[in-house]
Amino acid sequence: MLARLLTLHPKRIDLVLDRVERLLAALGNPQKSLPPVIHVAGTNGKGSTCAYLRAMLEGAGFRVHVYTSPHLVRFHERIRVAGTLIPEDELSDILEECETANKGEPITFFEITTAAAFLAFARHPADAVVLEVGLGGRCDATNVIDKPAAVCITSVALDHQEFLGEHLSAIAAEKAGIIKPGAPCIVGPQDEEARTVIVRRADQSGAPLSVWGEDFGAHEQHGRMVYQDGSGLLDLPLPKLIGRHQIANAAVAIAALRRMGPRWSKERAIEWGLKNVEWPGRLQRLLNGPLVDAAPANAEVWLDGGHNPHGGAAVAQSMADLEERSSKPLYLISGMLKTKDATGYFLPFRGLARHVTTVAIAGETASLGAGALYDAVRNAGIEAAPADDLSDAMMQVAAWSRTREGEGPPRILICGSLYLAGKVLAENG
């Protein structure tokens, strides 16, 4: 069914709301029958923030619907109904129902699958919905929720400029398009240019604001996470997800729940969520599987789907923090899409990564070729070599590592695209 929908409705991006609104009306407007919705936009960190929200809400015993994108291995990852990935038969039936209701009218793949998610959510009882924006915000298919319980905008950076605008202010304006009158708006760490745009939009909309660094914040102290806002201080465990940036992502989730009220923000549930959060493909340590077996003995193998310069800087900082705690030579295996600033992504790794092995992302027509990505890495001032595929890349890293046996086992980071992360997880079992 999904393959047929992709044929009928290509995976293209065309940002307007008319089509999805028409389809939802034909389906009886299921988006108007949902439990409280937390709507999350941003360039980097929105997926992780959704994962924290889900974990913290489930830690409090709530049943949670979750809609995220893209998926890594199976489409079903996008739609979680009351805590469980949508079953195959239900997904097929709902997609067919949406296709019938659409009556052959123009629609994109993301729009029709978003409508399917809303239909599934409306038919199953739950206590909350965590809803991730697909792209942008203002004209994203998810932006049909009139009265969200809260809105979160995580870090905004340059990405998808061909759709959202060339400048940070334009991209921030698109993200801020999900802000609604009266709905608390939680704003994560931002450059001043983006923060100004978001705060102005919230003020114009009459949305109560909570801004990182002004109304709430968090930091690591003595191996703990200290969170503070106008309601007080929380001494919490560090997030399970790796990286300094995850403290800010977790703080955005906590701030949203606390603004929604004490029913949603029990401290014990927040602690449980921080300890048990899961978000594959984001600085994920791979511990077994064929790719790990092919790595040099005692090597660390990490996977991350960040794909823009801002994300590259966050991952590079995390690798530097790991290096400070346990020194290992860092090797990268990378694949990226043609639409990304590849050289900008790799610049933060200069002086940190010994070598980058580049690959094309199998099955993705928008993937950069291994040779073109090699050129981008070299432009960033890092040694590189192309490989035929992931297996060949790991063999090359093993060969490079053998020439420097005195340095000890390497740390290998597979990075550059969520699509590559999905291929890795599938190939690695």
Tell me the C-alpha distance between 179 and 201, whole Å.
7
| CA 303-305-310 angle, 5° bins | 120
The answer to whether 162 and 15 are in contact (CB under 8 A) is no
pLDDT of residue 167: 85
- Helix or strand holding residue 273 (H, E): helix 267-276
| CA 166-171-173 angle, 5° bins | 130
Nearest to 12 by CA among 365, 420, 416, 369: 365
Query: Which tokens go with 208?
Result: 């109560």
The CATH class of the 284-427 domain is: alpha beta
Count of all residues that appear for the chain in the document? 429
Query: Which tokens go with 253?
Result: 């989730």
* Pairing relationship of beta strands 37-41 and 128-132 according to DSSP bridges: parallel
pLDDT of residue 10: 58
pLDDT of residue 165: 57
**Beta-bridge partner residues of 37:** 129
Q: In 222-242, which positions are buried (b, 16+ CB within 10 angstroms) versus exposed (e)?
A: eeebbbebeeeebebebbbbb
At residue 37, the 3 state secondary structure works out as strand
Nearest to 255 by CA among 301, 305, 210: 210
Nearest to 13 by CA among 109, 116, 138: 109
Nearest to 110 by CA among 46, 1, 19: 19
pLDDT of residue 238: 97
**Omega of the bond prior to 262 within 30 degrees of 0, cis?**
no
The answer to whether 146 and 17 are in contact (CB under 8 A) is no
For residue 235, the 8-state DSSP code is E
pLDDT tens digits for the chain (429 residues)? 666 665 656 556 666 799 999 999 999 999 999 999 999 999 989 999 999 999 999 999 999 999 999 899 999 999 999 999 999 999 999 999 999 999 999 999 999 999 999 999 999 999 999 999 998 889 999 999 999 999 999 999 866 555 555 688 999 999 999 999 999 999 999 999 999 999 999 999 999 999 999 999 999 999 999 999 999 999 999 999 998 999 999 999 999 999 999 999 999 999 999 999 999 988 999 998 999 999 998 999 999 998 889 889 999 999 999 999 999 999 999 999 998 999 999 999 999 999 999 999 998 899 999 999 999 999 999 999 999 999 999 999 988 888 776 678 999 999 999 999 999 998 877
Tell me the C-alpha distance between 243 and 348, whole Å.
15
Q: Where are the domains of the chain?
A: 2-276, 284-427
The answer to whether 123 and 158 are in contact (CB under 8 A) is no
Amino acid sitting at position 224: R
Tell me the C-alpha distance between 168 and 165, whole Å.
8
The answer to whether 43 and 310 are in contact (CB under 8 A) is yes
Q: Count of CB atoms within 10 A of residue 14's CB?
A: 13
Nearest to 45 by CA among 350, 252, 196, 232: 252
Q: What is the CATH number of domain 2-276?
A: 3.40.1190.10
Tell me the C-alpha distance between 103 and 274, whole Å.
44
Distances (CA, A) of 59 to 56, 62, 233, 273, 369: 5, 7, 20, 6, 43
The answer to whether 77 and 2 are in contact (CB under 8 A) is no
CA-only gyration radius of the chain, Å: 21
**Beta-bridge partner residues of 415:** 334
Crossing angle of the two packed helices 46-59 and 245-260, in degrees rounded to 10: 50
Nearest to 315 by CA among 278, 353, 368: 353
Tell me the C-alpha distance between 375 and 369, whole Å.
10
- Helix or strand holding residue 4 (H, E): helix 2-8
